[in-house]
Amino acid sequence: MKRYTIGIDYGTDSARAVLVDAADGRILASATSAYSRWAGGSWCDPLSQQFRQHPLDYIESLEAVLREVVAACPDPSAVKAIAVDTTGSTVCFTDSEGMPLSLRPEFASDPDAMFVLWKDHTGTAEAEEFTAAGARYTPNYICQSGNHYSAECTWAKVLHVLRTNPAVRKAAGGFIDECDFVTNLLTGCRSFADMKWGHCIPAAKQLWNKDWGGYPPESFFAEIDPLLPPVLKMVPQVNYPCSEAAGTLCHEWAARVGLGEGVVVGVGNCDAHSGAVGAGVRPGTAVLNLGTSACYMAVMPVEEMKGHFIEGLFGQAEGTILEGFMGYETGLSAFGDIFAWFKRLCGIPLPELADQASGIALRDDLPLATDFFNGRRAPNPSNIVTASISGLRITTGPAEIYRALVEAAAFGSKACIDQYLDGGIRIDKMIAVGGIAQKSPFVMQMLCDVLGRPVEVSDCKDACAMGAAIHAAVAAGLYPSVLEAEDALCPGACATYTPDKERHEFYLRRYERYKELANFVL
């Protein structure tokens, strides 16, 4: 008897779903739906680093991708489970039932009542206050963020909106991250008391740690701002691993997409963490998720790393990424976004730029850049630092600049991987996922040459959605653990990039200059 699961991945620009055969991991159907309001640039102000998304984009895309993969399913009655991952922390204020305030008519056009996207940095000042407060406490409640809280994390976003929008503050009955909102939408849950929040976002982005009983004490939040404790009391204090069921598909959504109400809905997850599972993460295997930003994930046995936190490392917490292990997340706040920016600037397609850049001879006087186009996530976090390009001449052309940008992203990646290794995290193998890994040999070879390590590319084009489908299979009881489900369902590699020794030595020299430039602009 066939059994299928559906994984849904919410990215920055679109949602995608995969229908997976739970026996062998074959993807039988896939669907993608772009966010129409987001595509029009609504409610965003890049100059102030404000990026907001309307929940209607999420709802409409959810229905579109589910209807499409269900329509392609050989037997919809054999769909056993659905699970969701989303960008994070992408957070929104809600009413007392957990519904975003922007779904109310009076808040329909208020960006502060919408989801504050992961890359929104309007809460930079608030993030710095959390970092400063953490340093005054023992334990340092910011330790899971490497003692540096980020504007990309939940509480900085929450506090910024509380301070700047009295109407939203007065109406708020709580807040919710995107992954939990979509999950509760599917299950029909309309009560904070009954919600099963996923573990990954609270632990990696919200300062939750079981060793101090959940969130930091109320006094910690009150010291930063008295506006915070009332909101803290509104949200769930308990969270759950992605291997558990949040509930079953409610009548409304079962009817909308053509499935039965008994379909299990798994607990929600962070997209990068889900992509790591979709690629087969485990101790010794790091996963490089190369999208609009870059997230580099690794796991280690708890007994080897518990209580050991690495300074400046973006996310490090027990039970994130892979249940039962210490999870580690680092990366670049901008990766694909860098190349997309340059394409818009010069009007030349990226494949054409890559072809031209690949023919440039290695020279010490080539332009040199830094990668901080959306701030720096690690190893020296800063939400306010900006990118730079040096060594420009009157003869410098677009291909040389593009090459410098790719090199900068690779150098930023090396800084992150070196931080892992220096912190005692074992990396024997690296697997890359995401659109850039699949489509840009020039970027991948540069990354491989800079790192001086082989990099495999997962044969799954939708690794995040596959990770969600794997979690769905475990939540439905089709596999006893995520590791066993990975063994059965994860695809192998479709390509392996091997470093060139001569180019690696050249890049090591350039990397020292990159670090000097980075230290200068920081």
b/e 383-405 (16+ beta carbons within 10 angstroms → b): bebebbbeeeeeeeebbbbbbbb
Reported as a pLDDT band with limits 50, 70 and 90, residue 378 is confident
pTM: 0.94
- The token pair at 383 is 């939400």
pLDDT of residue 1: 84
pLDDT digits (tens, 9 = 90+) for 464-489: 999 999 999 999 999 999 999 999 99
Q: Provide φ and ψ at 8, rounded to 5°.
A: -120, 125
Q: How far is CA 77 from CA 16, 21, 80, 154, 244, in A?
A: 21, 13, 8, 38, 21
- Terminal Cα distance for the chain, rounded: 59
φ/ψ of 216, rounded to 5, equals -55, 160
CA distance 250 to 236: 21
Position 74 confidence tier, pLDDT thresholds 50, 70, 90: very high
79-86 vs 269-270, strand pairing mode: parallel
Whole-angstrom Cα Rg for the chain: 22
| Element at 59 (helix H, strand E) | helix 55-71
171 vs 382, residue with greater confidence: 171
Percentage of the residues of the chain whose pLDDT score is greater than 90: 92
Q: Counting Cβ atoms within 10 Å, is residue 428 exposed (0-12), middle (13-18) or buried (19+)?
A: exposed
Query: What is the C-alpha separation between 126 and 131, in angstroms, rounded?
Result: 9
Residue 366 confidence class, pLDDT cut points 50, 70, 90: very high
pLDDT above 80 for 522: no
**Interval 257-297: pLDDT, tens:** 999 999 999 999 999 999 999 999 999 999 999 988 999 99
pLDDT at 377: 87
Q: Residue 307 — very low, low, confident or very high, per pLDDT cuts 50/70/90?
A: confident
* Order of strands, sheet of 115-116, starting from the edge strand that comes earlier in the sequence: 52-53, 115-116, 91-94, 174-177
Model pLDDT, residue 102: 98
Q: What is the mean pLDDT of residues 437-452?
A: 97
* CA geometry: angle 81, 199, 323, nearest 5 deg: 75
User: Does pLDDT of 379 surpass 90?
Assistant: no
- Region 207-221: what's the mean pLDDT? 94
Instruction: Name every residue whose Cβ is closer than 8 Å to that of residue 296 and which is 6 or more positions away in sequence.
Output: 286, 287, 288, 289, 329, 330, 331, 413, 416, 417, 420
For residue 316, give the H/E element and its range: strand 315-318
pLDDT of residue 42: 87
What is the mean predicted confidence (pLDDT) over 97-124? 96
Confidence band for 381, pLDDT divided at 50, 70 and 90: confident
Answer yes or no: is pLDDT of 186 > 90.
yes
Could you tell me which of 505, 118, 124 has the C-alpha nearest to residue 334? Answer: 118
Is residue 269 within a helix (H) or strand (E), and if so which, with residue range?
strand 269-270
Question: What values do phi and psi take at 161, rounded to 5?
Answer: -70, -40
Instruction: For residues 148 and 378, give the distance between their C-alpha atoms in angstroms, rounded to a whole number.
Output: 10
Residue 317 has pLDDT above 80, yes or no: yes
Mean pLDDT across the stretch 230-256?
Answer: 95
Amino acid 416: pLDDT? 96
